Amino acid sequence: MDQFMGMQMLMGILKLPSYPMYWMNEIRINTIADVMPINRPILEMVRDNCHKIEPEPVHSIDEQIIPAKTKHSGIRQYNPKKPHKWGFKMFVRSGSSGIIYDFFLYCGAKSSGREDCSAENVVLRLAERIPKNLNFKLCFDNWFCTLSLCLKLKEIGILTTATIRTNRIAKCRGSFSYKVDANSGLLLLRWFDNKCVHMTSTYCSANTSGNVKRWDQKNRKHIQVPCPQVVKEYNTGMGCVDLSDMLISLYRIPMKTKRWYLRVLVHCMDICKINAWLLYRRHGNQLNISQRSQLNLLQFSSEIANALIMKSKRVDRPIGRPIKKLSTNSDLTETRGRKVQVPTPQNDIRYDEFGHWPNPQINKNKCRLCKKTVPLIATDELGLLSLFARLG
């Protein structure tokens, strides 16, 4: 605490435009940087695992809000257009299936260098891990989009589709519905729907690919409106981060705390869980496993929680022979009914080498595998009959 107070006092004396500059290699202030190094082990570990996932052909970049109402952090944001208006903002790159491939936490507007959170720099930073010159497509909205950004991404081999604001279109000819730059191949399109929509793309054409269904307020009926190909490409590719948000919100880990970093830690756990489930679904489809045979998100989350709770949990070996219980009327009633089948535990629990002891039984039972009668059974940590095993 003394070092922290001294560091704050020194920052008041040696004022720099932004906090990250105290740790930059070019102008590093050792007196401050050595006292409190920038270590983000949890965030970097989760990001590294996200980078290892095989990327999809279509990606999108958007904001994500970690819900929090704590008032003790200077990086909390308010966005009325998000489902959770108060919280910590993360910039996320997600695939069309909802898998999150990269992200970073927004740490304030007064940043520089790599930590600069300007719209163009956010996209370039999140696009660093996208394979170049392999026709990978990237979608983002008009908050991020500029013409120079689209051209930079095209130079490194990444195709883009995005909405764009009118004040960011230079030398636009309003008499034309679209314009294509012959030198760069950049398309600028102005599409009239309920309101004017401006879009840009480096790989789509302005040809009409079909009609879309719209509501005519004047005539009070649905009508068919011609829709350019670039609009359909944008609608198909955009919304990936929203899908990830929806999946995370279904079974979000609850955390009521005033420590903002715990919110970030728990959100990283949610990201790992959602990515693991989506990869499980992807691999199941590749192996031609039906959707009904695969676990849904609730079942998948429950199995992960149970495996983490029971994994490597030591159970003492029972001593002596089991005590024979006196039969009661309730016991006789239960034995007359159908025998309850105890499910086999998860492999993470079965093979953790903890608490698996053969126990002698008074009544012989049949093995689930060979159907032979054996006097000994193997149990798991919960004491359930997980597998009958013959010894000797």
Mean pLDDT across the chain, nearest whole number? 77
State if pTM tops 0.85: no
Over the stretch 51-107, which tens digit does the pLDDT of each residue have? Answer: 999 999 999 999 888 888 776 566 788 878 777 888 888 999 999 999 999 999 887
Task: Give the Cα separation of 140 and 62 in Å (integer).
Answer: 7
What does the pLDDT read at residue 304? 85
- 313 vs 35: which has the higher pLDDT: 35
- The answer to whether 260 touches 70, Cβ cutoff 8 Å, is yes
| Mean pLDDT on 380-385 | 43
More confident residue, 172 or 252: 252
pLDDT band at 176 (very low <50, low <70, confident <90, very high): very low
Question: Higher model confidence: residue 344 or residue 180?
Answer: 180
Neighbours of 391 (CB within 10 A): 9
Report the distance separating Cα 86 and Cα 382, nearest Å: 42
Instruction: Using the predicted structure, report yes or no on whether residue 108 has a pLDDT greater than 80.
Output: no
pLDDT of residue 50: 93
Quick check: 226 pLDDT over 60?
yes
For residue 5, CA distances in Å to 2, 8, 15, 32 come to 5, 5, 16, 11
User: Which range, of 115-124, 320-329, 342-351, averages the lowest pLDDT?
Assistant: 320-329
**Dmax of the chain from CA atoms?**
94
Q: List, for residues 238-282, the tens digit of each pLDDT value.
A: 888 889 999 999 988 877 777 888 888 889 989 999 999 999 999
Q: What are phi and psi of 301, to 5 degrees?
A: -65, -40
Question: Which residue type, as a one-letter code, is found at position 320?
Answer: G
